[in-house]
């Protein structure tokens, strides 16, 4: 409810005292009504009241869509007022009254953002998507209004220039330097007309990137491969067939329904004997957002890339890639290309060409008279895996029951860090499928809450990610705020009388996202502020993948869902022997996407005629990508580069250097060596975002990272 009151200026000399009293009485009544209405809104809007929930968890169970607009209006107004108080402060700027004060400002806005972000990720609806299109440009404008205000920048600048006069902690000094450089990078030193142009660009990007992601979700939800003839299910495992039957039932469709959600699509590509249907589902996947209809993303991506060129050059950079990489470990695009192309791409291409030849030979051995195509790769890879290693993924799945794998990651964390995970009830959750765990230190003290949402649904975006509703910090009076961390995945659902049985890739993903979660749980940040080098951010996640298939770890969690039998040594040996199988394909997919991302963002001129699909084709031909493989993400569904991983998808590979080198430290002692684990926690996980990335790594490893371990794992000579 909103009450808008307008006032017309009064000519006081024409009004007598009695009339003035009446006017004042009327104004008082109007004011009281306005206050009453405002109080009513706050009392009925759970986002605007004190959260009377355990551990300050957002009241997900009480929030409705109509609560967001008034909550955002109030939150942004509060933030503006708090920042205005800082900027209008007549006292000389200090760290406490300027920088630190800004960290305590905007608390309500952070809380509303946390809830809305979850709604737009796991509770998606048409109303939410429309609301996102309205809200995100306003948030962009709000952020620009603050960071481009010259009064605030001048205060921060004075604090920065006099930083030696303050007794700052290492964290405060790191954040101050990061903030100051961030202001420069975000346009604080621009002329006023340039600032206005920057604001406009940022708002346009906010709208376009949101629309791009919404289009991808729409594409995923609308494609359905309907199978009516049971013969077309030949080759598929029973679990995949049963899941497709249940999907069809949910959709009110006769037969079996397969989708381009990976738990449905990947088994189909691996096992379905019907080549034409494999082609149909694969082509649907690789052409998301590329159908010249209302969900087409080509024009949107072109506009995004051109806006990023304009913004980078407005800020004094040659291109967006130079702008993005400057504060990161890579420092510049040239170092990224040196790793991706010179050291890895040229070394991995011979491997993937050998894999292609082996698959073509398999086709011919079976009497096929056709050339291997992209939709064939998964199918013949599984056949070759079976022949070469006597290993069928369906032989492994029964040992990877989701609940057992979940317990496995918890047990690994306990053996490394001493922490425990206990299911906890009575906690508001963003979706009924979400489970919650209380995380405690070895001494029993509370560390964090951990939320897990594991399966795909139409109201949830694809992929897997880690987020948090609340990070670690302290209030002004020194009270500790503990983390609320979440893992969201899209894993295989239970099917029929079988529980959720994961693929080896899904197991690896669970360990990966759990690594991100540990990073959030162990954070020792003092404020709701940090500055993580984005090409360092994947180290905590990717290092955890190394534990997933260690024999000692498999014996802990890989138990047959039906018999309880621990995975046999014979199967472990097969997994180990096949670990490098098809590695050329996997690494080529990722490197191609990383290089394409960088090449897009190396553009130095606005190109109104840019054809993004032609750009992709020409560049992939230039670097020699074989036609039997596509980039892992093609331009029209490359959702990573809509924010965070733009000119940054290389981060996964950059972090591979770090995680392979870091895991060597455990292998040099013991994979569960607690002293090494403590060093990793203290130097990396606890400090991530409040210390220079290279300093963190050297603090843990005693030296800078080497590429040797990664190259060895890929069979590439240095």
Contact 651, 538 (CB under 8 A): yes
Does the structure show a pLDDT above 50 at 485? yes
Residue 701, pLDDT score = 97
Residue 43, pLDDT score = 61
Does the structure show a pLDDT above 80 at 330? yes
Residue 496, pLDDT score = 86
User: C-alpha 416: how far from its chain's center?
Assistant: 25
Average pLDDT (48-73) is: 96
pTM of the model: 0.90
Question: Which is more confidently placed, 46 or 27?
Answer: 46
Chain segment 195-216, per-residue pLDDT in tens: 999 999 999 999 999 999 999 9
Q: Cα–Cα distance between 232 and 383 in angstroms, integer? A: 18
Residue 101, pLDDT score = 97
Average pLDDT (322-337) is: 96
Mean pLDDT value across the chain: 93
Chain segment 434-445, per-residue pLDDT in tens: 999 999 999 999
Enter the tokens of residue 420: 């425990």
Residue 13, pLDDT score = 33
Contact 597, 638 (CB under 8 A): yes
DSSP state of 438: E
Concerning whether 414 is annotated as a catalytic residue, the answer is no
Does the structure show a pLDDT above 90 at 690? yes
Does the structure show a pLDDT above 60 at 551? yes
Rounded percentage of the chain residues whose pLDDT exceeds 70: 94
Residue 38, pLDDT score = 45
Q: How far apart are the first and last CA of the chain?
A: 66
Backbone angles phi, psi at 349, to 5 degrees: -55, -45
Average pLDDT (613-641) is: 97
Average pLDDT (149-165) is: 96
Q: Cα–Cα distance between 598 and 607 in angstroms, integer? A: 17
Active-site residue among 513, 545, 616, 628? 513
Domains in the chain, ordered, with CATH?
Answer: 1-9+16-44 (no CATH), 65-189 (1.20.1050.40), 226-285 (no CATH), 298-391+585-642 (1.10.1370.10), 400-577+668-698 (1.10.1370.40)
Does the structure show a pLDDT above 60 at 150? yes
The enclosing H or E element of 394 equals helix 393-396
Q: Cα–Cα distance between 612 and 297 in angstroms, integer? A: 10
Q: Cα–Cα distance between 577 and 386 in angstroms, integer? A: 12
Reference 9, options 30, 21, 23; nearest CA is: 23
Least trusted range by pLDDT, from 11-25, 244-258, 682-696: 11-25
Backbone angles phi, psi at 421, to 5 degrees: -125, 120
Q: Name the one residue in this structure whose structure tokens are 């990073």.
A: 519
Chain segment 501-530, per-residue pLDDT in tens: 999 999 999 999 999 999 999 999 999 999
Least trusted range by pLDDT, from 33-47, 339-353, 364-378: 33-47
- Residue 579's pLDDT band, with cuts at 50, 70 and 90, is confident
Residue 716, pLDDT score = 86
Average pLDDT (230-255) is: 95
Average pLDDT (299-327) is: 97
Does the structure show a pLDDT above 70 at 193? yes
Q: Cα–Cα distance between 372 and 87 in angstroms, integer? A: 65
Average pLDDT (87-101) is: 96
Who's near 368: CB < 8 A, 6+ residues apart? none
- Residue 364's pLDDT band, with cuts at 50, 70 and 90, is very high
Q: How many other C-beta atoms lie within 10 A of the C-beta of residue 630?
A: 19
Residue 47, pLDDT score = 96
- Residue 42's pLDDT band, with cuts at 50, 70 and 90, is low
Does the structure show a pLDDT above 90 at 1? no
Residue 71, pLDDT score = 97
Does the structure show a pLDDT above 80 at 562? yes
Does the structure show a pLDDT above 70 at 560? yes
Enter the tokens of residue 718: 């240095």
Residue 631, pLDDT score = 97
Residue 16, pLDDT score = 44
Residue 41, pLDDT score = 47
Residue 21, pLDDT score = 46
Average pLDDT (401-424) is: 98
């Amino acid at each position: 409810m909103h009450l808008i009151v307008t006032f017309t200026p009064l000519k006081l000399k024409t009004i007598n005292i009695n009339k003035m009293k009446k006017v004042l009485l009327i104004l008082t009544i109007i004011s009281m009504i306005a206050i009453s209405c405002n109080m009513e809104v706050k009392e009925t809007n759970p986002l605007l009241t004190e959260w009377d929930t355990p551990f300050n968890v957002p009241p997900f169970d009480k929030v409705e869509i109509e609560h967001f607009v008034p909550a955002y209006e109030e939150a942004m107004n509060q933030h503006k007022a708090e920042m205005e108080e800082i900027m209008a402060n007549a006292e000389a700027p200090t760290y406490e009254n300027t920088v630190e004060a800004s960290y305590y400002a905007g608390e309500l806005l952070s809380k509303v953002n946390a809830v809305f972000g979850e709604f737009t990720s796991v509770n998606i609806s048409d109303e939410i998507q429309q609301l996102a299109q309205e809200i995100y440009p306003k948030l962009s404008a709000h952020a620009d209004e603050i960071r481009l205000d010259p009064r605030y920048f001048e205060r921060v600048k004075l604090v920065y220039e006099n930083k030696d006069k303050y007794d700052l902690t290492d964290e405060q000094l790191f954040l101050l330097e990061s903030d100051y450089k961030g202001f420069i990078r975000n346009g604080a030193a621009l002329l006023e007309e340039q600032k206005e142009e920057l604001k406009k660009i940022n708002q346009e990007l906010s709208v376009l990137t949101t629309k791009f992601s919404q289009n991808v979700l729409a594409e995923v939800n609308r494609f359905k491969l309907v199978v009516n003839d049971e013969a077309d299910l030949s080759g598929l495992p029973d679990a995949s067939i049963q899941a497709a039957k249940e999907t069809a039932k949910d959709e009110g469709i006769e037969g079996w329904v397969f989708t381009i959600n990976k738990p449905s699509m990947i088994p189909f590509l691996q096992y379905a004997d019907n080549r034409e249907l494999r082609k149909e589902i694969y082509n649907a996947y690789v052409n998301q957002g590329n159908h010249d209809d209302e969900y087409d993303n080509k024009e949107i991506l072109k506009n995004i890339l051109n806006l990023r060129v304009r913004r980078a050059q407005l800020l004094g950079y040659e291109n967006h890639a130079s702008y993005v990489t400057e504060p990161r470990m890579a420092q510049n695009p040239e170092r990224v290309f040196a790793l991706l192309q010179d050291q890895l791409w040229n070394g991995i291409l011979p491997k993937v060409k050998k894999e292609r030849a082996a698959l073509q030979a398999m086709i011919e051995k079976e009497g096929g008279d056709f050339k291997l195509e992209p939709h064939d790769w998964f199918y013949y890879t599984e056949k070759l895996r079976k022949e070469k290693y006597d290993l069928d993924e369906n032989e492994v799945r029964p040992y990877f029951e989701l609940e057992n794998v979940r317990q496995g990651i918890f047990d690994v964390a306990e053996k490394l860090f001493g922490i425990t995970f206990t299911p906890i009830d009575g906690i508001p959750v963003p979706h009924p499928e979400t489970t919650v765990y209380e995380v405690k230190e070895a001494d029993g003290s509370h560390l964090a809450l951990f939320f897990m949402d594991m399966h795909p649904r139409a109201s949830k975006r694809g992929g897997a990610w880690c987020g948090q509703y609340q990070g670690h910090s302290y209030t002004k009076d020194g009270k500790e705020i503990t983390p609320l961390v979440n893992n969201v995945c899209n894993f295989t659902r239970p099917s029929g009388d079988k529980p959720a049985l994961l693929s080896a890739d899904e197991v690896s993903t669970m360990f990966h996202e759990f690594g991100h979660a540990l990073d959030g749980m162990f954070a020792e940040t003092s404020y709701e502020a940090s500055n993580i080098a984005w090409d360092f951010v994947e180290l905590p996640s990717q290092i955890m993948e190394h534990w997933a298939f260690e024999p000692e770890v498999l014996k802990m969690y890989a138990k047959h869902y039906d018999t309880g039998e621990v995975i046999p040594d014979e199967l472990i040996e097969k997994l180990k022997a096949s670990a490098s199988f098809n590695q050329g394909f996997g690494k080529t997919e990722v490197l191609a996407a990383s290089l394409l991302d960088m090449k897009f963002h190396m553009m130095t001129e606005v190109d109104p005629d840019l054809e993004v699909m032609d750009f992709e084709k020409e560049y992939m031909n230039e670097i020699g990508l074989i036609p039997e493989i596509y980039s892992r993400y093609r331009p029209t569904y490359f959702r990573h580069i809509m924010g965070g991983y733009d000119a940054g998808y290389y981060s996964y590979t950059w972090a591979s250097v770090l995680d392979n080198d870091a895991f060597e430290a455990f292998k040099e002692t013991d994979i569960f060596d607690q002293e090494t684990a403590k060093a990793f926690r203290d130097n990396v996980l606890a400090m991530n975002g409040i210390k220079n990335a290279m300093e963190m790594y050297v603090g843990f490893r005693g030296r800078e990272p080497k590429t040797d371990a990664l190259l060895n794992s890929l069979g590439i000579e240095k």
